[in-house]
């Protein structure tokens, strides 16, 4: 009973939910579905639930996430794909459950948050290292696959796009977590090693999307250093950015094959050749197809559940010579949001993604800045929220960093105000004249 009344049960359940979420993303998919349920149990185990539940509706980040669900429900007024719509409503519950857990459950302690972050970084590096070992067993076959635009999945069968994003995030967060005051010497060394592994895996396996995210983040960091007048360090990072891709191209056959395949891929689309066997060319065709759909449904879109059907109808008018199995969806989250929800849907999505950067407390947190930057970058080349692992990766990071960060900032502000009032009270009593 004391365990419950002290709030430790709620806190421990929330920590287990986070651990389950990370392990689920890396290996055991069933844990991804279990994690939000455990998070809700953590909320119910909060002894001050009646007081803390209101924190959910007062949290702006949580309410913006809930707006996605509200818009999806309102789209029922004009949707035509009811089975897909019901499935999307079920998937969208994670937008409600995860922010609820990070606002209404007892917050994690600093050591628990460090453990979750370290588990993600070290776990991602471990999976990357095992995948690299699999590549090195048959490098010729793997490079031949890269030459025709194929990508090697993680050894735990994570799709290459989210896995490349996870590797890039592991690099940035590994370096950030090394500065955590609770990180011991061996953990700092392990995090540094994990960051190095993440970079090596991205280059050797030539994950195009992951490398885009990595170098965009490094370029943004270099720009930040220059704006802060750290000129020498900023220029050093820029020189590294200029030299590293060239060195990788000269030293790694996989990178050379990827660059050649990418250029050839784009040329096939530009020259209007047969693009059935070219991944990037099919994506360009899908983006052009989505543009036609958007031009006719620019305000509220065709409905989030109807985008696939709308793409099929448009492909029927112009198929680019693609067979049915090669008529892919649009690989761009912004175009997907615009197609499904029009300007209104895109506005809601951009509010979720970018609004935290309007707050000073969020801009001061480099983990949040890198989270938003990496997600905003990868979503230019992938409709991440259409993938279950992509949706869970975003919502978990959003809840863990943004929602919990806003809640922590509010608690700190409230504590500061209370301390100021306490300090002022003796002064007021001292300045009150004594009665005659």
Residue 434 has pLDDT above 60, yes or no: no
Angle at 197 between CA 193 and CA 203, to 5 degrees: 150
- The rounded distance, in Å, linking the Cα atoms of 186 and 297 is 55
- The rounded distance, in Å, linking the Cα atoms of 165 and 198 is 10
Report, as an integer, the average pLDDT of 113-120: 97
H helical segments located in 318-403: 333-354, 360-363, 366-378, 388-397
Report, as an integer, the average pLDDT of 173-189: 96
% residues pLDDT > 70 (the chain)? 97
Q: What is residue 142's predicted lDDT score, i.e. its pLDDT?
A: 83
Those residues with Cβ within 8 angstroms of residue 281's Cβ, 6 or more apart along the chain or in another chain = 265, 266, 268, 269, 275
What number of other Cβ atoms are within 10 A of residue 48's Cβ?
Answer: 12
Report, as an integer, the average pLDDT of 95-108: 96
Q: What is residue 425's predicted lDDT score, i.e. its pLDDT?
A: 66
Report, as an integer, the average pLDDT of 230-235: 88
Report, as an integer, the average pLDDT of 113-133: 97
What number of other Cβ atoms are within 10 A of residue 294's Cβ?
Answer: 20
**Residue 398 carries which DSSP code?**
I
Q: Is there a contact between 221 and 176 (Cβ–Cβ < 8 Å)?
A: no
H/E element, 5: helix 2-5
Q: What is residue 426's predicted lDDT score, i.e. its pLDDT?
A: 61
Report, as an integer, the average pLDDT of 228-251: 89
Those residues with Cβ within 8 angstroms of residue 434's Cβ, 6 or more apart along the chain or in another chain = none
Q: What is residue 436's predicted lDDT score, i.e. its pLDDT?
A: 45
* Residue positions counted in the chain: 436
Q: Is there a contact between 173 and 217 (Cβ–Cβ < 8 Å)?
A: no
Q: What is residue 361's predicted lDDT score, i.e. its pLDDT?
A: 95
Q: What is the pLDDT of residues 386-431, one digit of tens each?
A: 989 999 999 999 999 999 999 999 988 888 888 877 777 665 555 5
Residue 282 has pLDDT above 80, yes or no: yes
What number of other Cβ atoms are within 10 A of residue 354's Cβ?
Answer: 11
Q: Is there a contact between 159 and 349 (Cβ–Cβ < 8 Å)?
A: no
Q: Is there a contact between 370 and 176 (Cβ–Cβ < 8 Å)?
A: yes
pLDDT band of 23, cuts 50, 70, 90: very high
Report, as an integer, the average pLDDT of 51-64: 95
Computed over its alpha carbons, how large is the radius of gyration of the chain?
24
Closest C-alpha among 137, 170, 169, 174 to residue 152: 137
Closest C-alpha among 332, 348, 404 to residue 371: 404
Closest C-alpha among 258, 260, 30 to residue 152: 258
pLDDT band of 151, cuts 50, 70, 90: confident
pLDDT band of 432, cuts 50, 70, 90: low
Residue 433 has pLDDT above 60, yes or no: no
- The rounded distance, in Å, linking the Cα atoms of 102 and 387 is 23
Query: What DSSP string describes 113-137?
Result: HHHHHHHHHHHHHHHHHHHHHHHHH
Q: What is residue 138's predicted lDDT score, i.e. its pLDDT?
A: 87
- In the chain, helix, strand, coil percent, each to 5? 80, 0, 20
H helical segments located in 205-278: 208-227, 231-251, 253-270
Q: What is residue 327's predicted lDDT score, i.e. its pLDDT?
A: 94
- The rounded distance, in Å, linking the Cα atoms of 356 and 98 is 17
Q: What is the pLDDT of residues 315-350, one digit of tens each?
A: 999 999 999 999 999 999 999 999 999 999 999 999
Q: Is there a contact between 274 and 321 (Cβ–Cβ < 8 Å)?
A: yes
Torsion, Cα of 57, 63, 68, 69 (10° steps): -10
Q: What is residue 2's predicted lDDT score, i.e. its pLDDT?
A: 84
pLDDT band of 130, cuts 50, 70, 90: very high
Q: Which of 76-85, 99-108, 260-269 has the lowest mean pLDDT?
A: 260-269
Closest C-alpha among 169, 125, 150, 112 to residue 397: 169
Across the chain, mean pLDDT equals 92
Closest C-alpha among 394, 412, 409 to residue 99: 394
């Amino acid at each position: 009973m004391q365990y419950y009344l002290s709030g430790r049960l709620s806190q421990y359940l929330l920590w287990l939910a986070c651990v389950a979420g990370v392990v689920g993303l890396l290996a055991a998919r069933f844990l991804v579905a279990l994690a939000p349920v455990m998070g809700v149990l953590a909320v119910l185990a909060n002894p001050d639930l009646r007081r803390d539940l209101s924190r959910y509706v007062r949290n702006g980040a949580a309410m913006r996430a809930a707006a996605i669900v509200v818009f999806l429900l309102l789209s029922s007024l004009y949707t035509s794909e009811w089975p897909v719509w019901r499935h999307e409503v079920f998937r969208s519950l994670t937008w409600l459950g995860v922010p609820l857990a990070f606002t209404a459950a007892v917050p994690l302690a600093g050591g628990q948050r460090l453990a979750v972050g370290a588990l993600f970084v070290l776990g991602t590096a471990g999976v990357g290292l095992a995948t690299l070992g699999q590549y090195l067993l048959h490098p010729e076959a793997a490079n031949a696959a890269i030459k025709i635009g194929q990508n090697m999945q993680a050894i735990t069968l994570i799709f290459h796009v989210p896995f490349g994003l996870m590797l890039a995030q592991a690099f940035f967060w590994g370096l950030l977590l090394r500065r955590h005051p609770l990180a011991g010497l061996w953990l700092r060394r392990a995090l540094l090693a994990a960051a190095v592994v993440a970079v090596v895996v991205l280059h050797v396996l030539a994950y195009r999307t992951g490398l885009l995210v990595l170098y965009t983040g490094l370029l943004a960091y270099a720009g930040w250093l220059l704006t802060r007048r750290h000129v020498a360090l900023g220029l050093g990072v820029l020189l590294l950015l200029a030299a590293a891709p060239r060195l990788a191209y000269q030293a790694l056959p996989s990178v050379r094959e990827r660059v050649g395949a990418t250029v050839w891929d784009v040329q096939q689309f530009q020259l209007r050749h047969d693009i059935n066997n070219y991944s990037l060319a099919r994506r360009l065709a899908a983006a052009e197809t989505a543009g036609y759909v958007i031009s006719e449904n620019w305000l509220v879109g065709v409905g989030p559940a109807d985008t696939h059907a709308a793409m099929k109808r448009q492909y029927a008018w112009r198929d680019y010579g693609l067979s049915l199995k090669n008529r892919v969806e649009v690989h761009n989250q912004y175009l997907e949001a615009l197609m499904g929800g029009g300007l209104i849907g895109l506005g809601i999505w951009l509010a979720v993604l970018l609004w935290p950067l309007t707050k000073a407390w969020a801009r001061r947190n480099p983990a949040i800045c890198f989270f938003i930057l990496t997600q905003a970058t990868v979503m230019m080349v992938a409709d991440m929220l259409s993938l279950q692992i992509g949706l869970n990766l975003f919502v978990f990071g959003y809840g863990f960093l943004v929602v919990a960060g806003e809640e922590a900032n509010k608690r700190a502000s409230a504590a500061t105000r209370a301390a100021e009032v306490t300090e002022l009270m003796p002064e007021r009593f001292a300045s009150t004249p004594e009665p005659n």
